[in-house]
Chain A
């Protein structure tokens, strides 16, 4: 259900391209699923979020600009940005925003949308980590750090695996890097929960783009 405040006051000006209109709908659907996220419309463009962000110096568009671009009807540009992937979830913007906008949660929503549409910035493989992580939880019920990092580096930057292994070996030497994953007993139950939740979240048939995501490793159920 769409909150009327948002759709009335925040239709982007002019005529939107069909694809942009569709992205906007999908994004607003996400906004409706986050408590307090509709306060998005209260943004006064003060830039406190950008000034508070420890990683804004390495973003291509700032957190303030994310909201400005949404208003201008350029969601696709946000989805193609490096910004949504570089957010470290420190929540500084969220606690400091004078309009109490849930910026971190909105960036999560944008990440989900980008992943669902198979839109990823080149050279920034955060989504691979997210996918690998999700797969591991589904398989074992717990995260296995060694397995996660190994498959992440193998899929993104195999050479980096050698450089990073010095850290891994030190942890191994101290008994802080188990070689084998821990598995929960109720894996079947957990998978049933995940399957149901996935079905609820996305009951429709996967689109062509979503299938493209499947090719890079996301396991659809």
Chain B
């Protein structure tokens, strides 16, 4: 069965590489991704602090659109994922609020019964495809990558979107190791990157990003892999503003997990959007495609 797909605003701008590589990965695995037609912004973490009912109603519009398609909804952005899942839970648990949101949706002749599952692609890859099938489809080793697997917050909390332990998650490490990458010991894997504080209280966000880099360097990583567009932006673009010791050594490339999975499945560097990197991935990290033993 195909999946419906909600890219969210970031994947059409700063996180283009995420959009491109997610599509490449699903294509390589022979699964269809159907982008929701005319989706709107989920409201992100910000709208909730303005008006609750409005934040829930605009998010519910996307769920109503997804229900028309009827497939599980794949949502790569951690903030979108949290907002859509939260909307679903609020609607299921609060009948009064739901009646109000229903009324608002009716203004656009829409209705939602909140039945569609909202899922992160990392969890879809691990549960629907499974490590074994992914290993079989492997066409390139990621052995040159020594990765700090960074989960950030909202894929783990408050909803456990990967079914992982929110304190010591392993889903991303397992997936990366399946493609031959080394993963380093990385105690900051579930720490916060500061999110929107990079705009509103930059010194605070830089403290948090600095801590993440310090741990990544301490573990000997040569790249950081993440699942969230905002985490990637904060880590990739603001590492130049860090002070010692986090700033020590060379800049670290920061990648979306789907870029690495795509490479592992034999996609080209361009197909997974490596040309969008501001901190480039050294070309020797990308090994040649192996001749398939299953062909």
Contact = CB atoms under 8 A, between A and B. Distances in A.
A149 B191 CA distance: 25
27 contacts: A55-B208, A58-B204, A86-B197, A88-B194, A88-B197, A88-B208, A92-B153, A92-B157, A95-B157, A95-B166, A108-B49, A115-B49, A126-B201, A127-B49, A129-B200, A130-B47, A137-B41, A137-B43, A170-B278, A174-B276, A176-B276, A178-B12, A189-B107, A189-B110, A190-B58, A197-B100, A198-B54
B153 A197 contact: no
Contacts of A196: 57, 103-104, 107
B230 to A, nearest CB: 10
Contact of B94 (A33, A104, A146): A33
Interface of B: 9-10, 12-16, 38-41, 43-54, 56-58, 61, 89-90, 93-94, 96-97, 100-101, 103-105, 107-110, 153-154, 156-158, 166, 191-192, 194-197, 199-201, 204-205, 208, 237-238, 275-278
Interface string A161-189: 00000010011001111100010111001
Contact of A35 (B39, B89, B194, B275): B89
A194 interface: yes
Contacts of B12: 142, 178, 182
Nearest to A218: B50
A94 interface: yes
B189 to A, nearest CB: 13
Contacts of A186: 38, 40, 108
Given A54-B191, A167-B238, A176-B16, A194 B58 contact: yes
A196 B108 CA distance: 10
Contacts of B56: 197
B141 to A, nearest CB: 27
B199 A91 contact: no
A149 to B, nearest CB: 7
A197 B45 contact: no
B153 A90 contact: yes
A167 B47 contact: no
Interface in A79-134: 85-86, 88-92, 94-95, 102, 104, 108-109, 111-112, 115, 124-127, 129-131, 133-134
Given A109-B52, A129-B200, A198-B54, 18 more contacts: A54-B191, A90-B153, A94-B157, A112-B48, A115-B50, A130-B46, A134-B51, A170-B237, A171-B278, A182-B9, A184-B38, A190-B61, A193-B57, A194-B54, A197-B56, A200-B100, A200-B104, A201-B54
A143 interface: yes
A146 B9 CA distance: 12
B49 A145 contact: no
Interface of A: 1, 30, 33-36, 54-55, 58, 85-86, 88-92, 94-95, 102, 104, 108-109, 111-112, 115, 124-127, 129-131, 133-134, 137, 141-146, 149, 152, 167, 170-171, 174-178, 182, 184-186, 189-190, 192-198, 200-202
A125 B38 CA distance: 32
A213 B31 CA distance: 49
Nearest to B93: A35
Contact of B276 (A130, A134, A175): A175
Given A88-B197, A193-B104, A171 B237 contact: yes
> Which 4 residue pairs are nearest across A and B when measured between Cβ atoms?
A189-B108, A91-B157, A90-B192, A111-B49
A89 B154 contact: yes
A58 to B, nearest CB: 5
Given A143-B41, A189-B108, A133 B199 contact: no
